[in-house]
Amino acid sequence: MLPLAAAPAEDPNLALTLKVLPALVVILVAAGVCGRLARTVGQPRVLGEMVAGVLLGPTLFGQVWPDAQEKVFPGEVVPVLYIVSTIGLTLYMFLVGAGLDHGSRTPGEGRRAPVLALAGIVPSLMLGFAVGAALWGTLSRDDVGRWEFALFVGGALSLTAFPMLARILYERGLENAPLGRLSLLAASIDDAAAWCLLAVLSAWHLGTGPDAALRTIVLAGVFAAVMLLVVSRLLRPLGREVARTGSLGPTALYIVVIVPLTAGWITDWIGVYSVFGGFVAGLAMPRDRAFREALHAKTMGIVSTLLLPVFFAFSGLNTELGGITGATMLLSFAAIITAGFCGKYFGCALAMRGLGFGWRDSYAVGGLMNARGLMILIFINIGLAQGMITRELFAMLVLVAVITTAAAVPLYRLALPDRLERARVPDDPEPVPRAA
C-alpha cells in the first residue's frame, strides 16, 4: 500500500489528480460566472458556459496570462478533460431523449418534422458547400481536396444544436408544446443526417472507402432498431417499479447510467459519435411520467452543471481567435456565417409557413433551429482531430456556434413575445426539472 504521505512524484496517479482537480475547479467557476451573466442579459445559461470555454483557451486566458494557463491546463490534463466531456455529452443526450414526451404527438407531426428538417439541411448544406468550394486553398489543409472540404463546411453549417435547442426549450417550458416538439424532432433528423455525412467524409479522408461509410450507416440503423424495439421492452418493468415507488432506487440508478454509456460505446465503435447512442438510449427508456420526473430530478443537475462545461472548456482550448485577422480571413468568416445563418433561418421559416403556421411561429422556429452551439462543436472537434480542417476554420466555426446560438433566443422572443408565447405553452406542463 502506498503511504498516505506519498509525494506526487512517487505516485503518477496522484500527480495527475492534483492537476485535473484544479482544472475542473477553474472550469466550473468560469462556467458559473459566465452562465449567470448570460442569464442576466436574457440568454440561456449554456451560452455563457460556451463563452467561458472559449475564454479559458488561448484567446484570452492564454493571451493575458500564458504561464497560468499552461499550469492550469497542462498537456496531460487535456485527454482527461476529453474523456469527462464525452461522458457528460453522452449522459446529457440520454436525458434529452428520455425527457421527450412520446405521448404528446400533435396531428401531422410525423409529416411536418421531416419537411422542416429538410428545409434546415438543404439550404445550409448548399450554401455552405458553395462557400467551402470558394474558400478551398484559403482555409483548407494541403492534403484535403476541394469537394471534401466544401462538404465538411456545408455539413457543419447544416447542423442544429439539438442539446442546446433542448435546453432553451426546457428553460421556457416549451419542450412538449407543438412548436417545441416539432423543432426537436426536426433538429434530431438534421443532426443524424449531418453525422451520416461526417461518417462518409471520415471514410473518405482516412482512405477506408465508401464501404466503411455504408457499414457505419447500416450498423447505426440496426442499433437504433434494437434499442427502440427490443431494449425498450426490457426496460418497461423498470418504469413500472419507479412509478410504484416514486423514486429511482440504487438498482434503477445503475441501469440508467449503464445503458447510455454502453450505447455510447457501441455507437462510438460503429463510427457514429457516442452522443447519438446516448440519445437513442434515452428514447428507449420507459415512457411513464413518474419515471421521467424521477430521472431528471436525480441526474440532470449533476450532468449539466459538472460534466457539460468540461466539453466547452475542451473545445475552447483548441480555439485561437487571434488567427482570424486580416481582410482575407475576415471576409472568409463573413461569408461562412452569412451562408450558415441565411440557409437555416430563412429555410426553416419558409418551410414552417408552407406547413400552414403563421409568420410569427415560422420565424420563431427559424431562430431556434439556427442555434448550432453544441453539435457543431462536436462536429468540428472530430474534423480537427482527424486532420480535415485547419485551426483557423475551427476558430471561425466556433464563432459561428457562439453567434448563432446567441441570436436564437432574441430572434425567438422578437417573433413570439411573452404574451404570445404563453398561449403556446401546454395547459398542464409536466413538472420535469429544467436543464438550466
What is the predicted pLDDT for the residue at 433?
Answer: 37
CB 313 within 8 A of CB 32: no
Count other Cβ atoms within 10 Å, centred on residue 346: 16
d(CA 150, CA 128): 7
d(CA 225, CA 151): 28
Pick the closest to residue 61 from 316, 403, 310, 311 (CA basis): 316
What is the predicted pLDDT for the residue at 306?
Answer: 84
- 323: DSSP letter: G
Pick the closest to residue 245 from 170, 298, 302, 176 (CA basis): 298
Pick the closest to residue 431 from 250, 293, 304, 235 (CA basis): 293
CB 400 within 8 A of CB 372: yes
Q: Digits of tens for pLDDT over the chain (436 positions)?
A: 455 555 555 788 888 888 999 999 999 999 999 999 998 988 878 888 889 988 998 878 888 888 888 899 998 998 999 899 889 888 987 887 787 665 545 556 677 888 898 998 999 999 999 999 999 989 988 888 898 899 999 999 988 877 677 767 776 677 667 777 788 888 878 877 777 777 777 767 766 666 776 787 788 889 989 999 999 999 999 988 888 887 888 888 999 999 999 999 998 888 777 877 888 899 899 988 888 888 888 888 888 888 889 988 888 887 887 778 788 899 999 999 999 999 999 999 999 999 888 898 899 889 888 888 777 887 888 888 888 888 889 989 989 988 998 898 889 889 888 777 776 666 544 434 344 3
Question: How far is the first Cα of the chain from the last one, in angstroms, to the nearest whole number?
Answer: 43
d(CA 164, CA 371): 7
Calculate the CA 17 to chain-centre distance.
28
Grid cell of 238 as nine digits: 423498470
CB 348 within 8 A of CB 371: no
Instruction: Name the amino acid, one letter, at 287.
Output: R
Calculate the CA 220 to chain-centre distance.
19
d(CA 152, CA 166): 25
d(CA 169, CA 409): 10
What is the predicted pLDDT for the residue at 1?
Answer: 47
What is the predicted pLDDT for the residue at 234?
Answer: 94
Grid cell of 199 as nine digits: 461518417
What is the predicted pLDDT for the residue at 144?
Answer: 86
Instruction: Name the amino acid, one letter, at 228.
Output: L
CATH class of the region 17-422: mainly alpha
Grid cell of 315 as nine digits: 473545445
Give residue limits of the domains in the chain. 17-422
d(CA 50, CA 321): 14
Grid cell of 304 as nine digits: 449539466
Q: How many residues does the chain have?
A: 436
CB 316 within 8 A of CB 57: yes
Q: Which residue is listed with cell 490534463?
A: 77
Grid cell of 113 as nine digits: 418534422
Query: How many Cα atoms are found within 13 Å in the side-chain-facing hemisphere of 77?
Result: 22
Q: Which residue is listed with cell 429544467?
A: 434
Instruction: Name the amino acid, one letter, at 396.
Output: M
Grid cell of 161 as nine digits: 444544436
Calculate the CA 138 to chain-centre distance.
28
Grid cell of 68 as nine digits: 497560468
Instruction: Name the amino acid, one letter, at 323.
Output: G
